[in-house]
């Protein structure tokens, strides 16, 4: 997490987060902390909010008959959690997520698992059509408390250069 402080007055500072395009270095890996222990409530709420009706996610009796013997966490929740965990390090200043590729759920997630994330900068290039902005590509992986990889994906983000972010133009940021 890039945490910086901006002087907003005499002996007064405001914390800021995120990276400008110039701050990303290909090959750098950001470990996202804190982790998040997934609860049964998290899983049920996300499942119901997204209208996922598969009983593996909310019917314990059904799940007992499966190979896992218990409910599994709905996979879009795992993806959303990892995206959220990566925001302060990778996309706090982003203008837009441009796309995600190679999304893979490599092991099941269960209630009471703790998920940690890390992102590696794969590539970056200046935008040809948007001066002062660039495209950054990262690979994010999610690991459970035992170090087992549970998810991986590649994300492309449009990131402003220094002096070109929204917070650079908003007076109270």
**For residue 63, what are the contacts with CB-CB under 8 A and spacing of at least 6?**
55, 56, 69, 70, 71, 72
Domain boundaries, the chain: 3-162
Contact 109, 45 (CB under 8 A): no
Q: Is the pLDDT of residue 37 over 90?
A: yes
Q: Report the C-alpha gap between 127 and 135 in whole angstroms.
A: 6
Top pLDDT among 166 and 116 is at 116
DSSP 8-state class, residue 88: I
Q: Report the C-alpha gap between 136 and 170 in whole angstroms.
A: 24
Q: Report the C-alpha gap between 100 and 90 in whole angstroms.
A: 14
Confidence at 10, pLDDT banded by 50, 70, 90: confident
130-143, pLDDT tens digit by residue? 999 999 999 999 99
CATH superfamily of 3-162: Hotdog Thioesterase (3.10.129.10)
Confidence at 15, pLDDT banded by 50, 70, 90: low
Contact 129, 75 (CB under 8 A): no
Sign of CA dihedral 110, 111, 113, 117: positive
pLDDT on residue 77: 97
Q: What value does the mean pLDDT take over residues 87-94?
A: 90
CA neighbours closer than 13 Å in the CB half-sphere of residue 148: 12
Q: What distances in angstroms separate CA 14 from CA 3, 7, 162, one per listed residue?
A: 10, 7, 17
Read off the pTM.
Answer: 0.87
């Amino acid at each position: 997490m890039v945490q910086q402080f901006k002087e907003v007055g005499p002996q007064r500072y405001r914390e800021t987060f995120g990276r400008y395009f110039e701050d990303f270095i290909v090959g750098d890996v950001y470990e996202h902390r804190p982790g998040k222990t997934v609860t049964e409530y998290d899983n049920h709420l996300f499942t119901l909010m997204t209208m996922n009706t598969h009983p593996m996610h909310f019917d314990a009796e059904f799940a007992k008959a499966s190979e896992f013997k218990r409910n599994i966490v709905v996979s879009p929740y795992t993806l959303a959690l990892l995206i959220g965990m990566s925001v302060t390090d990778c996309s706090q200043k982003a203008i837009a997520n441009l796309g995600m590729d190679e999304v893979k759920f490599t092991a099941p997630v269960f209630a009471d698992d703790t998920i940690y994330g890390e992102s590696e900068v794969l590539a970056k290039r200046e935008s040809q059509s948007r001066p002062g902005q660039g495209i950054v590509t990262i690979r994010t992986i999610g690991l459970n408390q035992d170090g087992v990889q549970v998810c991986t994906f590649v994300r492309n983000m449009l990131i402003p250069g220094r002096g070109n972010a929204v917070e650079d133009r908003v007076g109270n940021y």
